[in-house]
């Protein structure tokens, strides 16, 4: 693969500066399950996690208090 040009490097840096990195810890078993689920839905793990966050926030904001106090299954 050819080396990136300086313009490509600058463009990639500018693109990446729009995002924050978040470290996430989980068991290897959970990671495998998340990866399999994402692949089954033709998504990347990152895409799946972001979608799960978005959908959970939408659901929680649509029904205030609906998720408060729910610890069962966690």
The vertex-48 CA angle with 57 and 38, nearest 5°, equals 145
* 4-44 residue pLDDT tens: 999 999 999 999 999 999 999 999 999 999 999 999 999 99
CA-CA-CA-CA dihedral for 23, 26, 30, 35, to nearest 10: 20
Phi-psi region of 63 (alpha: psi -120 to 50; beta: other; left: phi over 0): beta
Say if CB 12 and CB 4 are below 8 A apart: yes
Alpha helices in 1-74 (DSSP H): 6-16, 28-40, 45-62
Q: What is the pLDDT of residue 47?
A: 97
pTM over 0.75, yes/no:
no
Q: What is the pLDDT of residue 71?
A: 52
Provide mean pLDDT across the span 54-68.
Answer: 84
């Amino acid at each position: 693969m050819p080396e990136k040009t300086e313009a490509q490097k600058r463009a990639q840096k500018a693109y990446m500066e729009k995002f924050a990195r978040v470290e996430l810890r989980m068991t290897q078993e959970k990671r495998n399950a998340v990866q399999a689920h994402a692949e089954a839905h033709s998504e990347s793990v990152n895409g799946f996690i972001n979608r799960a966050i978005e959908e959970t926030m939408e659901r929680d904001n649509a029904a205030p208090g609906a998720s408060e106090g729910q610890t069962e299954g966690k």
